[in-house]
Structure 1
Amino acid sequence: MDYKTKPTTRLELRKLANAFDILADTKDSLYKPVVELLDKIPDIMPFVHYEIVDDNAFEINVPARGYFEPDGNYTIEIKEYVYNGAIQGNGACRGFIMHEIFHPFLYRLGFVPLYERSFKDGELHPYESVEWQVKAITGEYMMNYDQTKDLSKDEIIKQCGVSKVFAKKRKKY
């Protein structure tokens, strides 16, 4: 499920990822400390907190999810296997967590759903899709463009701690 939001470009998302990098004090690190960053999130976004939940807490194909509470706070729920995988350096698990962190970040920057109708994959232009924007900024943060543009896919996987899918997309863009 996806929602339409104000349009943006990959270049703009790259700039926002760099800004987040500065806020998170991770600019000097190619390998982003995702698990450690969870505990720093309240310093960056005081309205965000996370919980590690049982692997059966929600749909099997959803590794983590986030939502706004009625009081305006944002809760990220991360399945236990995803959290443990991220601790062990699993690139996909690390990416799932960062993806959920970037939802409230972009939301607070004005990338909010323009209306409540949800869309199926492929019904929206990528540049106006909430999910595409969050995936793109996650990739831009975890694989800093300037630091990875000359690396091979395998070097990106190793040095950035990302999945093969993420590294392949970096080489594409």
Structure 2
Amino acid sequence: MAIQNRGFEVSPLSAKQIKNAAKAIRIIALNKGFIGQHGKIDVVGLLEHGLYALSLSNPNAISYEIVEDAALPDAEAKTFPDKTILIRESVYNKAAEGDGRSRFTIAHEIFHSLAHCNQISLCRASTFQTPAYKDSEWQANTFAGNLLFPDELVEKYENYSDEEVALYLGISVSCVRVRRMQYHKN
């Protein structure tokens, strides 16, 4: 059995469960003022303030650290079992400036910190035979896409070009295309 460089095998989650988690985080973000007029979510603000406040009552609070790029030579960011997210300085700065890929990376790591930290130390690497719904990377990517471009915004911006949507929401054109494809597939 060949190992595929995907993620770790984790507890199964359906796309619907992940969408619901993204909706819940968007509600928190909206209540904390981290969603703008076009529906763009401020993932950096959410990371800096919202998740901290969300986890204050939790003894295993989520934390993050901005590190020099050289400290993470093989990853843009990484989440550890203690719920610490390490983010390359260049990725963090680009996300703060609105770069879609970097914003996606932060959203992706937020999901790992919320859903996978209690499982990672017990996990094995996923393989070609691992169903997507049990793959930590598929789950985190699904969450990030839904957090940044949820179904209601896919509908709202149906008649806009991919480039316009990417600009309004601060996401990559690739994210727009993938989310639109997923939405219309269902």
Same topology, TM > 0.5 = yes
CA contact (8 A) 1:4 1:115 kept: no
Aligned to 1:63: 76
Separation in 2, partners of 1:114, 1:80: 26
Deviations 1:79-102 (A, max 9, x none): 110011112111001111111111
| Residue number among 40, 43, 53 corresponding to 1:31 in the alignment | 40
Aligned to 2:16: 11
* Segment of structure 1 superposing worse, 145-154 or 16-25: 145-154
Aligned to 1:146: 152
Query: How far off is 1:114 after superposition?
Result: 9.8
Matches within 5 A, 1:35-114: 35-40=44-49, 41-46=51-56, 47-59=61-73, 61-69=74-82, 74-107=83-116, 112=119
Separation in 1, partners of 2:165, 2:52: 29
Query: How far off is 1:12 after superposition?
Result: 2.0
Query: How far off is 1:115 after superposition?
Result: 4.9
CA contact (8 A) 1:143 1:156 kept: no
CA contact (8 A) 2:43 2:106 kept: yes
CA contact (8 A) 1:113 1:130 kept: no
Give structure 2 stretches of 5+ with no counterpart: none
TM-score using structure 1 length: 0.85
Give structure 1 stretches of 5+ with no counterpart: none
| Residue number among 103, 117, 120 corresponding to 2:124 in the alignment | 117
Q: CA RMSD in A?
A: 2.2
Aligned to 1:165: 174
Separation in 2, partners of 1:100, 1:113: 13
| Residue number among 136, 148, 155 corresponding to 2:164 in the alignment | 155
CA contact (8 A) 1:63 1:78 kept: yes
Deviations 1:53-92 (A, max 9, x none): 0010022x411111023xxxx1111111001111211100
Separation in 1, partners of 2:17, 2:42: 23
Separation in 2, partners of 1:76, 1:36: 15
* Segment of structure 1 superposing worse, 79-88 or 27-36: 27-36
Identity of aligned residues (%): 27
Separation in 1, partners of 2:35, 2:43: 13
Deviations 1:116-137 (A, max 9, x none): 32124x4421111111011101
Give the helix-richer structure, 1 or 2: 2
CA contact (8 A) 1:24 1:44 kept: no
